[in-house]
Amino acid sequence: MEPSLPRPSLALGALAFAGGCAWVVGDSLYWYFTQRYVFGQGAAVAEVTGFYGILAAGICLAVVGAWLLGRGLARRGGGPPQSVWTVISETLASRTDVRIGVAGGALYGVAYLFVSSIVVYQPTVNFQTFYGATGTSVAAATCCGSPGTVPELIVYLAPQWHLALQLLPLDALFAAVIPILVGFNVAVAAHALRNRLLRSNAGWLGPVGITAGLFTGCPTCAGLFLAGALGGLGATTLAVALAPYQLLFVALSIPVLIVSPLVVATYAGKAALAACLVPAKAQSPVGPVNP
């Protein structure tokens, strides 16, 4: 039998996840308050690459923390069926539900890479003419921008195929964290649906969180999306108007993505308890029975 993780793994996982996220945010804020223009692309690339190496360590710590949390919660079962933690424990202990969640999170992660412009594909742009990129190369910008948007690292993967990577600190963090939260939402919803336990009027929370999360790090993408959806609006103008509300997207998406599976698990637990109740037998009529 596989040995179970000790209960402290839950606290350790939560600490690692929060610490990794705080590491990235703190490092980004430090760069923002000390940002300066670095002359020469060679020096700028070296300094920014070092920054993203440190950032990657924080992101890895957050991912490991999420894994520890999931493993710890999966072994926390044994409670009453109506308990939120029982439903979550059963979800994370189910290989089928976890696989569904991983698939949903992975698909969402790929979509996020393109929508947030981490992966840049511009088939109508000549990279050599506009960016001076004739082959695989790296460029960096050390200054100037708002918190979480500097420094910027651009990797021209295949200029002849119009393909590049554009890394910003917050985008890098969200590209790891938000798909994990989305996968968790998908797994809990899949568990509830597979067991016919989903009877929630709060089902809209998941789509809201997922949609907001998709645009968390990319107000420009939100502007382009809304411009196309509404029609008759200048995409650039709308994107500029939405840019100051980037933190609003963050404040909306992350809490909703955390709360949504808890709400679904709450209703699923209540439905499981109701399904276990045995209906009372019909009582005999009061009074004498005629022969």
Q: What is the pLDDT of residues 192-201, one digit of tens each?
A: 888 765 554 4
What is the full DSSP assignment across 56-125?
Answer: HHHHHHHHHHHHHHHHHHHT---S-TT-HHHHHHHHHH-HHHHHHHHHHHHHHHHHHHHHTTSEEE-TTS
Closest CA to 177 of 68, 260, 270, 60: 60
Residues facing 152 on adjacent strands = 141
Per-residue pLDDT, averaged over 221-232, amounts to: 42
Residue 205 has pLDDT above 60, yes or no: no
Determine phi and psi for 121, rounding to 5 degrees: -130, 110
Q: Give dist(CA 60, CA 52) in Å, integer.
A: 12
| Structure confidence at residue 235 as a pLDDT band (50, 70, 90) | very low
Q: Give dist(CA 147, CA 1) in Å, integer.
A: 48
Residue 83 has pLDDT above 90, yes or no: no
Q: What is the pLDDT of residue 72?
A: 87
SS3 at position 252: helix
Per-residue pLDDT, averaged over 138-166, amounts to: 88
Most confident of the ranges 219-223, 224-228, 260-264: 260-264
Closest CA to 18 of 57, 63, 51: 63
Closest CA to 42 of 155, 189, 140: 140
The answer to which of 42-51, 103-112, 161-170, 267-276 has the lowest mean pLDDT is 267-276
Residues facing 155 on adjacent strands = 138, 165
Q: What is the pLDDT of residue 69?
A: 92
Q: What is the pLDDT of residue 244?
A: 55
